[in-house]
Structure 1
Amino acid sequence: MLIKIDFESETAIYIQLRNEIIKGIAKGELQEGENLPSVRQLAGDIGINMHTVNKAYALLKEDGFINMDRRKGAVIGSMKNMITDEYKEKLNEEMDAIIAEVYCRGMSEEEFINMCREKFKLYK
């Protein structure tokens, strides 16, 4: 899996890394039970600090995308039953902010929904 990090982005590198790994899982590039690179290896490959990779892995673990094993390291977890009330609440809050910005910028509902549909198709 190719991880793309934009060092000029305003989005923190650990968030970009987290998002890239989630995209890899959604696209089937990373499978349940598959090992991710060690913190040291991934940091070296990308050219970032090990603490940044640790932070991304910690978020992925907290959100249930990976499991940490003392012997195997970071392992892709099961994607079954990941929809929780807590997740729905978080998603609703994030969507509210995105839709408010879309509205303020003058994008139509139809254009926004079509954009969402196109993005969703990338993961089918």
Structure 2
Amino acid sequence: MFIKLSMESKEPLYSQLVNQIIEGIAQKELHPGENLPSVRSLAQDLGINLHTVNKAYKQLEQNGFILIQRQKGAFIHPDGIPKANKAYQEKLTASLRPIIAESICRGMDEVSFTKKCQEIFSSFQKKGESSK
């Protein structure tokens, strides 16, 4: 998996890293039980502070995407990612509300918005199928 961070983005680096690792899991580029680079190694490879990588790994661990064990390092959760529950659905709703509101303000209708969501969702499924 190739990670590319934008130093010019308004999105914090740790958040970009979290999102790219989650995308790698969704696209089946990263598999359950697969080792991730050490914090120090990934920070060096990306040219960022090791605390940034550590923060990203901690967030991924808190959300059930990875496990971190002393001596063994970090790896994709071997039991898979926890399924969407009520708390996740509430978080999803809270995240989507401002995106939908902005889309409406910018003149997008429901059909266009839904189509864009379907395109993105399908792109993940296609990438996941091609990496099997």
What is the Cα deviation at residue 123 of structure 1?
1.6
More displaced stretch, 35-44 vs 105-114: 105-114
What is the Cα deviation at residue 4 of structure 1?
1.3
CA deviation digits over 1:66-121, x for unaligned, max 9?
01111211110133542121111100111111101111111111111111011001
| Amino acid aligned to 1:42 | L
- Counterparts of 1:80 and 1:55, CA distance in 2: 19
More displaced stretch, 75-84 vs 13-22: 75-84
- Counterparts of 1:67 and 1:2, CA distance in 2: 20
SS at match of 1:122: helix
User: Normalising by the residue count of structure 1, what TM-score does the alignment of the two structures yield?
Assistant: 0.96
| Amino acid aligned to 2:37 | P
User: Which residue of structure 1 aligns with residue 103 of structure 2?
Assistant: 102
- Counterparts of 2:54 and 2:19, CA distance in 1: 14
Percentage of identical aligned residues: 51
User: Which residue of structure 2 aligns with residue 86 of structure 1?
Assistant: 87
Residue 86 and residue 107 in structure 1: after superposition, are their counterparts in 2 closer, same or farther (change >3 A)? same
What is the Cα deviation at residue 5 of structure 1?
0.6
More displaced stretch, 70-79 vs 37-46: 70-79
SS at match of 1:3: coil
Give the root-mean-square deviation of aligned CA atoms: 1.0
1:64/1:82 contact within 8 Å kept: no
Matches within 5 A, 1:33-72: 33-72=33-72
Residue 22 and residue 89 in structure 1: after superposition, are their counterparts in 2 closer, same or farther (change >3 A)? same
Task: Work out whether 1:27 is the aligned partner of 2:59.
Answer: no
Runs of 4+, deviation exceeding 4 Å: none
Q: Gapped runs of 5+ residues in structure 1?
A: none
Between 1 and 2, higher relative CO (CA 8 Å, sep ≥ 6) is seen in 2
